């Protein structure tokens, strides 16, 4: 076969080009540190690289999940430990001020510290991480919480079956709850109210919906919207009394635990004024005291702070040896602000008389030394003294000395009444208010979150919980911490030793309740630590296999590059020689 100079030249040129291409590929490997950069480099190895990188990406995401979850749980643990320490201090103060070595002035001073500790617990309960509350569950919802009602509830068409609701600032039309007469259990009532509210055209057109539940003995109507703009208020309707919605409290979804102002009408009111749900407009002003709005006439009212000592005075003409050993307020909403007398008709029988109205509250009551005597929101303890028990004709006067907050205010239907961080409205219903009518305002705190749980992925089909809903810690399941601490504040301010004793037991339960959740949070944190360690081991393994498949052996690559450079140099010289001896060179 005849080999021409052109063929020789082409072969040498192609060899030189391949050497240069190979050298360029090796140079890229050296500069990038990667021996496989595209499928054509090594299809099988490239497939393994893709799979390893996918596994590493999933591991990195799970490690980030764990880091966030660990931060959340660590913060939860710190907050709960701080709460436990605070509860221990509150319990210590309760034990200290229970002692008879303390009087009213000392207990009032102690109540100031407990009030600040209450704020500290509330602050912990509302702590946020990256804008997300720690103890909220998964969301917070504004709501209206009604007063206690007795079930079953009977609703009758045209009598007590309408409701007007405002949800997130959008007001419904007149909602008809029934077209006949029906008797409803608590859950049935909640379902009916929810169905009819959510069917309202005005609310539906604005995308507003609610969830209604029956919580033990009262309705809770919560907006399905989340956050500060989430609100529900009841504006009017013929079913308000039947549903327990003449009064109650209104909150927003701004925080997991909201300060509340629960309003209620006095049971002996003769007027037709209606009280709205109470609300808190400035938590910093809230004193934790309770109040009564009392009408001195149909057009004038006072606001009085009723959190204070109950005065029990032994009549100077008593011949028996009974003494008042304790007294306090057990139901602020039931207070009348009237004066009373405990009048003994024998050494074992007594009557309770309202001396303001000259009416008998109860009669023929059996006296037992040290037993509680309860009436109209008050509790009095009478005990036998050194000179024996009571005698017929003995009497004890019982009274309150409330603090005046607002005096001689003029009533105007629908006008807001604001004082010490709290707000409510009084409106004319079937008629206006009457002299002697009263409306209670009781402060507190309420959980606005849900029972939702946050989970993070730590493996295939494996998740770990990273939060505990606040109602399990601060509002139950065994004791409401905020209600217990508030009760202690009230008992200290009213010099009520029995109330102080009651809170000691509740605080012990609260400590156990908090401790159980601390243990759960610790277990979750340990689970995340174990999962993180396992993922780190997996990351190391996949990183190693990826490196073995993808990374270049620099020493070998540099050696190969040197050989290719020699090959290029040799091929170039050979090509030059062939070109120099060719006919082409001669023709030049």
pLDDT in tens, 465-478: 999 999 999 998 99
Tell me the C-alpha distance between 412 and 428, whole Å. Answer: 9
pLDDT at 247 over 50: yes
Distance CA 313, CA 368 (A): 19
pLDDT at 452: 87
pLDDT at 46 over 70: no
Could you give the angle at the alpha carbon of 291 between the alpha carbons of 312 and 325, nearest 5°? 20
Q: What is the DSSP letter of 471?
A: G
pLDDT band at 553 (very low <50, low <70, confident <90, very high): very low
Q: How many CB atoms lie within 10 A of CB 104?
A: 13
Higher pLDDT, 251 or 450: 251
What is the pLDDT, as a whole number, of residue 4? 59
Q: Of 143, 167, 163, 144, which Cα lies nearest the Cα of 153?
A: 163
CA distance 106 to 88: 20
Q: For 141-153, give the DSSP string.
A: --EEE-----SSE
Average pLDDT over the chain reads 88
Q: Is the pLDDT of residue 27 over 60?
A: no
Kindly give the residue spans of alpha helices, DSSP state H, lying in 343-459: none
Q: Given a cut of 60, is residue 213 above it in pLDDT?
A: yes
Q: What local confidence, expressed as pLDDT, does residue 215 receive? A: 93
pLDDT tens-place string over residues 214-229: 999 999 999 999 999 9
- The residue written with tokens 């990826």 in the block is 546
How many CA atoms are closer than 13 Å to the CA of 95, on its beta-carbon side?
9
How would residue 140 be classed by pLDDT, with cut points 50, 70 and 90? very high
Q: What is the largest CA-CA distance in the chain?
A: 151
The torsion defined by the Cα of 24, 28, 31 and 32, in degrees rounded to 10, comes to 180
Question: Distance between CA atoms of 585 and 403, rounded to whole angstroms?
Answer: 120
5-9, 177-181, 496-500, 541-545: range with lowest mean pLDDT: 5-9
Residue 54: pLDDT above 90? no
Six-digit token pair at 203? 């609310």
Q: Per residue, what are the HEC states of 570-585?
A: HHHHHHHHHHHCCHHH
- What pLDDT does 550 receive? 58
Report the SS3 class of residue 341: strand
Q: Is 258 exposed, middle or buried (0-12, 13-18, 19+ CB in 10 A)?
A: buried
Cβ atoms 119, 259 nearer than 8 A: no
Strands 181-184 and 372-375: unpaired
Could you give the 3-state DSSP secondary structure of residue 282? coil
Q: What is the rounded distance in angstroms from the CA atom of residue 364 to the CA atom of residue 348?
A: 9
**In 3D, which of 271, 162, 149 has the Cα closest to residue 220?**
149
Q: Which CATH architecture has domain 54-132+471-531?
A: Up-down Bundle (1.20)
Query: Which has the minimum average pLDDT: 140-144, 485-489, 578-582?
Result: 578-582
Q: DSSP of 151-213, one letter per residue? A: SSEEEETTTS-EEEEEETTEEP--EE--SSEEEE-HHHHHHHHHHHHHT-HHHHHTT--EEEE
CA dihedral 556, 562, 563, 564 (to 10 degrees): 110
Alpha carbon distance 575, 194 (integer Å) = 92
Whether the per-residue pLDDT at 8 is higher than 70: the answer is: no
Average pLDDT over residues 28-41: 54
Tens of pLDDT along 228-240? 999 999 999 999 9
Given a cut of 70, whether residue 588 has pLDDT beyond it is no
Q: How far from the centroid of its chain's Cα atoms is residue 408's Cα?
A: 38
| Residue for token pair 């009444």 | 417
502: closest CA among 491, 494, 510? 491
More reliable by pLDDT, 268 or 549: 268
Q: Encode pLDDT of 383-440 as tens digits.
A: 999 899 999 999 999 999 999 999 999 999 999 999 999 999 999 998 999 999 999 9
Q: Over range 98-124, report the average pLDDT.
A: 94
Q: Residue 1 pLDDT more than 50? A: no
User: Could you give the CA distance from residue 175 to residue 84 in angstroms, rounded to a whole number?
Assistant: 46
Q: What pLDDT score does 551 carry?
A: 53
* Domain-wise residue ranges, the chain: 5-35+551-587, 54-132+471-531, 310-400
Nearest-angstrom CA–CA distance, 274 and 284: 28
User: For the chain, how big is the Rg over CA atoms in Å?
Assistant: 39
Residue 2: Cβ-neighbour burial (10 angstroms; 0-12, 13-18, 19+):
exposed
Residues 206-242 as b/e (b if ≥16 CB within 10 A, e otherwise) read eebbbbbbbeeebbbbbbbbbeeebbbbbeebbbbbb
The predicted-structure confidence for 57-88, as pLDDT tens digits, reads as follows: 888 898 999 999 999 999 999 999 999 999 99
CA nearest to 416, candidates 250, 212, 527: 250
Among the ranges given (11-20, 61-70, 447-456, 578-587), the one the predictor scored with the smallest mean pLDDT: 578-587
Helix (H, G, I), strand (E, B) or coil at 223: strand
pLDDT in tens, 307-353: 999 999 999 999 999 999 999 999 999 999 999 999 999 999 999 99
Looking at residue 75, the DSSP 8-state letter turns out to be H
Give the dihedral of Cα atoms 278, 283, 287, 290; nearest 10 deg.
10
């Amino acid at each position: 076969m005849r080999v021409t100079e052109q063929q020789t030249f082409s072969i040498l040129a192609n060899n030189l080009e391949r050497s240069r291409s190979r050298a360029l590929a090796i140079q890229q490997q050296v500069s990038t540190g990667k021996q496989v950069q595209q499928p054509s480099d090594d299809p099988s190895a490239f497939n393994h690289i893709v799979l390893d990188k996918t596994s590493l990406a999933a591991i990195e995401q799970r490690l980030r999940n764990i880091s966030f979850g660990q931060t959340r749980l660590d913060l939860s643990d710190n907050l709960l430990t701080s709460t436990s320490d605070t509860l221990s201090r509150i319990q210590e103060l309760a034990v200290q001020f229970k002692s008879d070595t303390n009087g009213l002035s000392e207990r009032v001073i102690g109540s100031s510290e407990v009030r600040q500790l209450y704020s500290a617990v509330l602050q912990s309960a509302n702590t946020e991480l990256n804008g997300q509350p720690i103890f909220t569950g998964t969301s917070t919802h504004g709501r209206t919480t009604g007063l206690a009602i007795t079930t079953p509830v009977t609703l009758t068409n045209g009598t007590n079956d309408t409701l007007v609701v405002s949800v997130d600032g959008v007001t419904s039309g007149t909602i008809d709850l029934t077209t006949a007469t029906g008797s409803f259990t608590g859950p049935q009532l909640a379902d009916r109210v929810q169905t009819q509210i959510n069917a309202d055209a005005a609310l539906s057109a604005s995308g507003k919906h609610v969830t209604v539940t029956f919580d033990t003995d009262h309705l809770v109507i919560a907006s399905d919207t989340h956050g500060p703009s989430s609100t529900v208020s009841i504006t009017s309707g013929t079913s308000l009394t039947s549903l327990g919605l003449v009064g109650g409290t209104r909150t927003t979804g701004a925080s997991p635990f909201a300060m509340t102002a629960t309003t209620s009408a006095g049971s002996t009111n003769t007027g037709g004024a209606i009280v709205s749900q109470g609300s808190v407009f400035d938590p910093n002003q809230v004193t934790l005291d309770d109040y009564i709005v009392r009408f001195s006439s149909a057009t004038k009212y006072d606001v009085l702070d009723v959190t204070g000592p109950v005065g029990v005075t032994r009549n100077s003409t008593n011949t028996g040896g009974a003494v008042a050993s304790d007294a306090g307020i057990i139901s602020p909403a039931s207070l009348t602000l009237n004066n009373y007398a405990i009048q003994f008709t024998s050494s074992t029988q007594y009557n309770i008389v309202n001396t303001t109205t000259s009416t008998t509250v109860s009669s023929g009551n059996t006296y037992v030394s040290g037993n509680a005597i309860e009436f109209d929101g008050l509790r009095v303890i009478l005990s036998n003294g050194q000179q024996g028990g009571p005698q017929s004709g003995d009497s004890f006067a019982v009274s309150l000395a409330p603090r005046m907050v607002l005096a001689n205010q003029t009533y105007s239907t629908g006008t807001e009444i604001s004082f010490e961080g709290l707000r409510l409205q009084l409106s004319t219903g079937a008629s206006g208010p009457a002299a002697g009518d009263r409306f209670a305002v009781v402060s507190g705190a309420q959980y606005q979150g849900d029972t939702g749980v946050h989970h993070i992925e730590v493996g295939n089909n494996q998740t770990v919980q990273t939060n505990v809903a606040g109602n399990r810690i601060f509002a139950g399941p065994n004791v409401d911490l905020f209600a217990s601490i508030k009760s202690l504040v009230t008992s200290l301010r009213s010099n009520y030793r029995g109330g102080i004793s009651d809170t000691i037991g509740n605080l012990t339960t609260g400590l156990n309740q908090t401790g159980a959740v601390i243990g759960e949070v610790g277990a979750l944190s340990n689970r995340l630590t174990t999962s993180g360690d396992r993922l780190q081991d997996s990351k190391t393994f996949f990183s190693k296999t990826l490196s073995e498949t993808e990374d270049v052996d620099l020493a070998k690559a540099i050696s190969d590059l040197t050989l290719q450079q020699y090959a290029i140099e040799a091929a170039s010289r050979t090509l030059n020689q062939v070109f120099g001896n060719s006919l082409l060179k001669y023709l030049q």
